[in-house]
Structures are given as C-alpha cells and as structure tokens.
Structure 1
C-alpha cells in the first residue's frame, strides 16, 4: 500500500507549495536559460540516464524497505533520479524542485509511473512541510542542488531536516562539488558537452566583490541550426556556494547524520551516504538546532527592532 505522505500532493501533478517570489537566482537561471538544455547536457536520453542512476544508487546502498516506503529526491531536475528510485520499488517518490520546465519534463516521462510525484517546492522547506518525521526510507540530494542554496546556513538546516525525515533504517545520499579551491587561468573553463550543433562550456569567476563562500558560474552555449547554420552564443550567470568537504562532514555530524561511505562520483562530485546517528547523538543535534533556531529568531527580532528604529528616525 503506498505511503501516505501528505494530503496536499496529487499523484502525478506538480503541486505548487511555495511562493514564486521566494525563487532563488539559481531557479531563475534554470527557468530562463538552462532547463531547455539540461537533459541534453546530461546525455540526452532521460530513460537511459535513469537506468544509469539506478545502478549508481544501488551501489550507494539505496534500497526500499520490506514494505516499499517513501523516497525523496531533493532538487530532482528532469527526474532521472526520481525515475530510478521508482524502479527500485518504493511505494512513493517525492520529486522536489522549483523549476517548472524541468518538473514538466519529468511529469511527461512519469505518466505511466504513478509512484513518482513531481512537487514544486523549495528544498529548504519541503521535508518539514511534506514528510512525516521518521518516515522516509531514502532521501537523495544530488547534482548541484546543495551549492544552489543561498547560504551555508541553509545547507546546515537542510541536513537537520533530512535527519528528522529519515526512518531509523533509512539512507541519505548527498552529492556536491567542492569548489573551495579557486581555479586559475584556462582551468576556469570547463567543457560540459559538445555535439554537432550545440556546445556547452562553463566558466568560473571569483570576483573581488564575492566572499570566500561563493563563486560566479557562467554557462555558455553555442548552437546552430544545421551544419550550414551560423553559430550563436547564449550565456547566463548565477552564484554557487563553495562548500568544503570538511565543513560538510561537520554539519552532517551536528545534524545527527553518520556517514557510512564516502567517495567520488561522475564529474568529480563528492558523494556521501549517511544514516541517522544514535539516539544520543540525535538528541544533542536537536538541541543544537533548537539553539541555532533561537539565535536566528533573536537575530531577526533584533533586525526588526533596528528597522523600526531607523523608520522612526526617518519619520522624525
């Protein structure tokens, strides 16, 4: 029997659970520029990508429980990982993303896979809103999803949400690029894919007005209509977080997650498989998250009071 995760999700429709004004610059980059090229960028055949992803996830210990259970794909994109999870036999797969074009692509491929539920939601709030604590057999967050988040605080908070959502015997798998070491010279130009009529290159920039935690990513796509057409360049830029592996591992520990395996995946991605830590560790992590939340609340109150003071001063 499929797992009942929430009353607000339709089985195959993309349910919108977020205010469009909360969309990040990364979402704008995807919707305005990258979405139409994304599946091509990965290889071009979504079903073949799903099959390869299924082998990858199996290698990293993602399996459904005896009763099937719930899997969550955070930052699902066009859905090759979601389709792979459905192929394992999970009763329900929540495919979470903010990009409407990519969710639409997934929905078109999932018409005969009713266990996949595309959900338009912010990954920063999706788990508390959509998943009962302790009910997820698997949570995966792959690709560039972590580095797309606005702040490192958002990353740390997401780890806490994953620890809360995981079942006692559940598995989480995270992937991300460690961009903390600045590239120089021509090493900043990263070829992505090239076919007869389309070429994609990525360029990384470390401008002086950005701090040590961010990098500006320029995606460049040259395309032409047929072999005799003129080449046209299209480009768009956005910001990514720079997350060191040591920092990420420490945030896992604080959140109450214990790594069971680490390694390197396709494209130099850091891959970490995790499980929930022992109860005592989770209790300490929960206390830490509560204190952090109190600190954020106090800071917000302070900013509000300061804003009121500035407003009063301006009025006076």
Structure 2
C-alpha cells in the first residue's frame, strides 16, 4: 500500500485524462454547468459581496488534476485561478490544455503542492472569491483532522460572500462481495477496475487494477491507497464549525456528493 500522492505518481496520473473520458474541455463544460447551477460566478466572485469587496476574482482549485474544474473557473471569469496539485504530469497537461484552448497565461497559476497548507501559501486572509475541492479530492487526505484543518484554511482565505464547493464520494455505506469490484473505464488498449476493502469506520483501501495492451500483449499493474470515508452530515457540521454557511448538500451526477457553502 502507498499513499495517494505516490499512487498517482506510480499509476494513475498518466492515465487520469483517459479515465475522465479523454476530452478535458468537454468535461470542464460539465463542471461549468454545475458551478453555474450552484450560483458560483466571478462577478466579484460572489453574489453577496459589497462594493468594498470588489477586485480581482481569485479562485483556487485544490487537487486540480488535469483541470476540469480549473478550466471551468477560467470560463466563469475567475482570474487568476490557482491550480494546486502534487502531480507535475497533471499540471503540465492542464497548462497545455489551457494554452491550447486559447487561455490567457495570466489567468492560470499552477502550483505543485500538497493541498494542505496551499491556501496559506497562495492566498492572504479574506482574498479569495472561490475555492473548489472537487473530483473526490477530499477523501485523499490522510485523516479527518486534515479535512477539518483544510476547511479552516478555506474559511480564512475566502472573502466575505466567497464560495466553497466540494464534490466527493460518500464511502460510509460499505459494499459487500462482488459489489466491491467497480469498473472505472475500458477501451481497446486499457482497462481499469478498482476493488474496495473496508479497513475501519474511517478508511477504505482502494486497489486499482490497470491492464494496458501493447504490441507485446496485455500488462497488469496494481497499486493501492487509503481513502477517507467522509459522512455527508459530518462534513456539513465541520463547515458550519469554521463559520461557513452551507447552501447546498446532496448527491449529484455520477453519485458524487455536492456541497456548496458561502462565507458570510
């Protein structure tokens, strides 16, 4: 078993865009619509901000991956968008996609860093119009205390009226037997399946089984890493505890939990 950072470096990063369907701009369009429905926009980054809060609409994408949320935030008019990830490979993909689709260089600020502590480095207090942590990033943190500390950083960084959006899988309901084998994606040259092993009330061990085909035949690679089991009500309570007002919390597309909160 390894941690999430090593797991992505060793196995998933080079295949992550393929996992998402292979078309990042198209995937970004889906995220754009989700953010719009939640009321996230870059008119001073908030629907609630006063005239005194006007200025550049900075957004931070925690765990940006190849950029589906980052590109959506750019399209919404946020600038700059600070894109945080530990994977140099995924940050390079994001930058190439942003440039290739005509994005302005100054609209994107890639930051290779663990999401823990990234806001303290990238964002002064009360300066950020939106923070997103989407695509099941929160469960990659090592412990629930890290989630709580991250939410405190979010509340500190957001300007009044600023938005926080998280999407994640609620893994608290255990699957059993063969239901624990989950097909992720398959194509002519790749097949990815994951297997879930429930360790305790807070942790599930994810085993990713990747098969790739070359001229020499099929090759199997396996890697495992722990993910947090985050109860939806617990996350709502943690947001409220740091002073965020939860406006939306329900299961969204593809079974992902969607939480939207605003700093009063």
TM-score w.r.t. the length of structure 2 is: 0.90
| Aligned counterpart in structure 2 of residue 152 of structure 1, from 139, 144, 159 | 144
More helix by share: 1
Structure 2 match to 1:55:
33
Question: 1:169 aligned to 158, 161, 166, which one?
Answer: 161
**Aligned: 1:25 with 2:3:** yes
1:86 CA displacement: 0.6
Structure 2 residue 91 is matched with structure 1 residue 100 = no
The answer to which structure, 1 or 2, has the higher relative contact order (CA under 8 A, 6+ apart) is 2
* 2: CA distance, partners of 1:75 / 1:69: 19
Max Rg structure: 1
Partner of 2:69, secondary structure, is: helix
The size of the alignment, in residue pairs, is 249
**Alpha-carbon distance in structure 1 between the residues aligned to 2:211 and 2:143:** 31
Of residues 128, 135, 138, the one that matches 1:136 is: 128
Structure 1, unaligned runs of 5 or more: 1-23, 278-316
Distance 1:250 1:185 in 2: 32
Q: What is the CA-CA distance between 1:264 and the residue it aligns to?
A: 1.8
Q: CA RMSD in A?
A: 1.5
Tell me if the contact between 1:147 and 1:242 (Cα under 8 Å) persists in the aligned partners. Answer: yes
Report the equivalent of 1:204. Answer: 196
Decide which of 76, 79, 86 is 2:67's aligned counterpart: 79
Of Structure 1 and Structure 2, the greater strand share is in 2
Deviation at 1:89, TM superposition (A): 1.1
- Give the whole-Å Cα distance in 2 for the aligned partners of 1:33 and 1:113: 31
Matching of residues 175-194 of structure 1 within 5 Å: 175-194=167-186
**Structure 1: how far apart are the matches of 2:134 and 2:162?**
17
Give the drift of 1:237: 0.5
Structure 1 runs of 4+ with >4 Å offset: none
Q: Deviations over 1:177-233 (max 9, x none)?
A: 111122110110111111122111111012xxx43211100111122137xx63222
